[in-house]
Structure 1
Amino acid sequence: MKIPSPCFVLDESKLIQNLKLINSVQKKAGIEIILAFKGFAMWGAFSIVKKYVRGATASSLNEVKLCNEEMGVKSHTYCVAYTDEEFDQIVSASSHLTFNSIGQYNKFISRVPVEVSVGLRINPEWSDVETDLYNPSSPVSRLGISSKELIELPERVDGLHFHVLCESDSYALEKVLESLENRFGHLLPKIKWVNMGGGHLMTSQGYDTDHLINLLRAFKEKHKVDIILEPGSAFAWQTGDLHSSILDIVDNGGKKTAIFDGSFTCHMPDCLEMPYRPKLEKGSNVFIDDWHPYRLGGISCLAGDFLDEYWFEKPLQIGDSIVFKDMIHYTMVKTSTFNGVKHPSIGILKTNGDFELLREFGYEDFKNRLS
């Protein structure tokens, strides 16, 4: 089957390769690694994921339901804030429930069944994240409880949770754990588990998995706690691309812009928020002498829906394909149909080389998000 345009395409063999590494780390370290839906929620691939990991983390009622239905287990749940209307549904479908604040804990703890393990999100106040928009460890962050506020553990709290990394290495985690011990070390003998969140990019080239394994084993032995990691990017890192096609080439003010049938605003918002410049299958995101520069422009009406120059060996033509690399993690989960722009199809490139189309989107998908 021909790959439609635009289309997110997951490479099954690359996903399996990542899953094998993740499974190896969790076995050697003696910990549990679960999938974070906020980074990768392509449930059409969960039949593969479930062969290597048992659980997932959810941060909304919808993600809790997805975990129950498609992963087949109750979720590890953390929400920035729970609502009265949704809380009982969420807690009944969760194995672990983490509160973001003491206020939320006080409000809802009486409604948590005894069989659900309760945790608190804390802020270790150290992170290697340099983009403020994506840094949760600020002293004024809304995410997590500070050491000044959490002097003693409230009743029924079994665990502590933090998430302050983003596509980081194990040496960054080591520094976080040092800050954790300095700020919250007096609480560690009183808990059963520590959830170290996500941002552990163990499937990236050059990541020191041996250091990660030794670090986790040492922390587990020292503090006698179970350890949970919940990466999102690591699962789908470099496992698939966004395929698109050029619809038009606009030449204004001495700059050529290739208009493609996708959108940074709608389909790749990190490119504008971070900003992040994805690599292309054919083309360079850095200057190459004698190559041809083109801005890449999305199909939405937003003036800022473009990225500055990429360079191509040959002049681009209408109908040429543009393939944005590594667009499966933290990209598919953020898409929208703003401006009525068609959502990319979703498919899997199977290990035998065949392409399987999982989903196409149309008018009803756009309409049903509105009222």
Structure 2
Amino acid sequence: MLDINKVPSPCYVMEERLLRKNLSLIKHVADTAGVEIILAFKAFAMWKSFSIFREYIHHTTASSRYEARLAFEEFGSKAHTYSPAYTEEDFPEIMRCSGYITFNSFSQFNRFYPMVKASNEKISCGIRVNPEYSEVKVELYNPCAPGSRFGITSDLLPDELPEGIEGFHCHCLCESDAYEFGRTLQHFEDRFGHWMNQLKWVNFGGGHLMTRKSYDVNHLINLLKEFKSRYPNLKVILEPGAAFAWQVGPLVSSVVDIIENHGIRTAILNVSFTCHMPDCLEMPYQPTVRGAETLSFDAVKSAKQEDHIYRLGGNSCLSGDYMGSWKFDHELRIGERIVLEDMIHYTTVKTNMFNGIRHPSIAIWHSDDTLEVYRDFHYEDYKNRMS
């Protein structure tokens, strides 16, 4: 059991026990459905933990030259790589580090496939397709929003695919359930079923939040089995990111000051929403705080004066670097630990050093109840980013 008092503050801390629980479920889905499920680095790239991942999965997905290199050098296998656009500068190393490369447009395919064909690398190429359907509500995260720059629509595909295109990549989900995937799959087949017999593989991207407690895993398995029965020639790939690191650990912070303005009390923390939890502001969503009740706007209005209600404020100079409100069962004190739950997926890869604010340490709490600190951050890390 994680002992918060043994964790430095601030610190992202991942629990090995919870990680292995997610990995076991994901492996069960892959084995039972007969598909491959790979880790998307865009949501999680804590490479010092890859030895644990390799016990359950074999490959990862990359969206850039650096992610592809991380896959090759630290995960130990070639990446499934997709980027909205490749450059001549990056592409040779992407080829060296990738086993699959997906192109976003025919323009990109025509420009770079000759390099793949002329190389000695064994690379399977594909094209991203856009079924023009997604149930993602927040447009910032909707890959199929009107005018999307992602993928080719069915009306732009020739009846016979160009030589070298062996797969389709389709990503339309975000923290979605199996039933959303089922409806998306129907739209995908309606638009692209014509080309399935010309392909070797199909990648259904990320957003399959199969480790969420309410997710119907059996329905997902049945959908995948039925799809494979219709297209036995295809290898099926899924590349979730959040599902791997869903609820595997918190961000541990501390109260450094408490201020009050017009009756609103704010506990200022030694972390920042804009620096260390940017998804909270982008999505937006209010994270769970251990030992506190998340309050709606109406609940705050009807609260009693003696209730222990606080906003949580970050320690940057951005005016909007705060969230709230939470109800605690006691008066907060300076130095008290505040534990923000589920802060490993996406959060750890999207952080920044705006204002030169100290970056939280990164650690893992092992199954034998020992803490291993993967990384501490210092002034030199900030200085080198600015040079």
TM-score by length of 2: 0.94
Do the aligned partners of 1:245 and 1:261 also contact (CA within 8 Å) in 2?
yes
1:135 partnered with 2:151: no
1:273 partnered with 2:286: no
Name the amino acid aligned to 1:226. K
Counterpart-to-counterpart distance in 2, 1:191 and 1:139: 27
Using the TM superposition, name which of 197-206 and 279-288 deviates more: 279-288
1:205 partnered with 2:221: no
1:48 partnered with 2:57: no
> Equivalent of 1:95, from 77, 84, 99?
99
Shift of 1:308: 2.5
Counterpart-to-counterpart distance in 1, 2:331 and 2:150: 47
Using the TM superposition, name which of 280-289 and 225-234 deviates more: 280-289
Structure 1: give runs of 5+ residues left out of the alignment: none
Name the amino acid aligned to 1:14. L
Counterpart-to-counterpart distance in 1, 2:274 and 2:362: 18
Do the aligned partners of 1:126 and 1:175 also contact (CA within 8 Å) in 2?
no
1:189 partnered with 2:197: yes
Helix, strand or coil at the partner of 1:96: strand
Shift of 1:115: 2.3
Q: State the aligned residue count.
A: 371
1:315 aligned partner = 331
1:24 aligned partner = 28
2:273 aligned partner = 264
| Two-structure CA RMSD over aligned residues (Å) | 1.2
Do the aligned partners of 1:198 and 1:231 also contact (CA within 8 Å) in 2?
yes
For 1:107-126, list aligned pairs within 5 A.
107-113=111-117, 115-126=122-133
Percent identity for Structure 1 against Structure 2? 53
Shift of 1:253: 1.9
Helix, strand or coil at the partner of 1:356: strand
Do the aligned partners of 1:259 and 1:296 also contact (CA within 8 Å) in 2?
yes
Structure 2: give runs of 5+ residues left out of the alignment: none
> Equivalent of 2:247, from 234, 238, 263?
238
Helix, strand or coil at the partner of 1:148: helix
1:50-71 per-position Cα deviation (integer Å, ceiling 9, x unaligned): 0000000000011011101111
Do the aligned partners of 2:286 and 2:324 also contact (CA within 8 Å) in 1?
no
1:325 partnered with 2:375: no
Helix, strand or coil at the partner of 1:346: strand
Name the amino acid aligned to 1:209. V
Do the aligned partners of 1:257 and 1:297 also contact (CA within 8 Å) in 2?
yes
